[in-house]
């Protein structure tokens, strides 16, 4: 399966391509440091400037949070979970780190496949 990645949409000319890339891309929102053994919040947002559809045949089916090659968590969705309206899906994951993390998020669109976030490094203090 092909893995799609975000491209800086400010470098793209066509509005339709900006929309396509942005609304499918997963973004990790988290601090860059955490304390060992303490609960740490990681928000994953799918789409930033453009909202993703929530139709019966076109929706975000799941979002995963990975630390390197280890999957930490997954949230599953069905069509209509976002009110059947275009929306930026957001998921808050809470993890308890033991060591530095290299976080990556994956999001799966039922129409446009798998999308991977950029890596987000978290230093454990």
Higher model confidence: residue 77 or residue 6?
Answer: 77
Residue owning tokens 């995963």: 64
Q: What percentage of the chain carries pLDDT values higher than 70?
A: 100
* 0.75 surpassed by pTM: yes
In whole angstroms, what is the distance from residue 60 CA to residue 88 CA?
Answer: 10
pLDDT digits (tens, 9 = 90+) for 43-82: 999 999 999 999 999 999 999 999 999 999 999 999 999 9
Domain 3-124, classified CATH 2.60.40.730, yes or no: yes
């Amino acid at each position: 399966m092909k893995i799609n990645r975000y491209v800086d949409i400010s470098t793209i000319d066509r509005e339709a391509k900006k929309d396509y890339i942005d609304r499918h891309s997963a973004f990790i929102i988290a601090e860059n440091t955490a304390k060992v053994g303490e609960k740490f919040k990681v928000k994953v947002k799918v789409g930033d400037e453009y909202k993703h559809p929530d139709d019966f045949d076109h929706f975000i089916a799941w979002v995963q949070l990975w630390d390197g090659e280890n999957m930490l968590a997954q949230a599953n969705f069905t069509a209509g979970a976002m009110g059947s309206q275009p929306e930026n899906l957001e998921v808050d994951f809470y993890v308890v780190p033991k060591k530095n993390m290299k976080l990556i998020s994956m999001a799966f669109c039922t129409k446009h496949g798998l999308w991977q976030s950029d890596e987000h490094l978290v230093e454990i203090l």
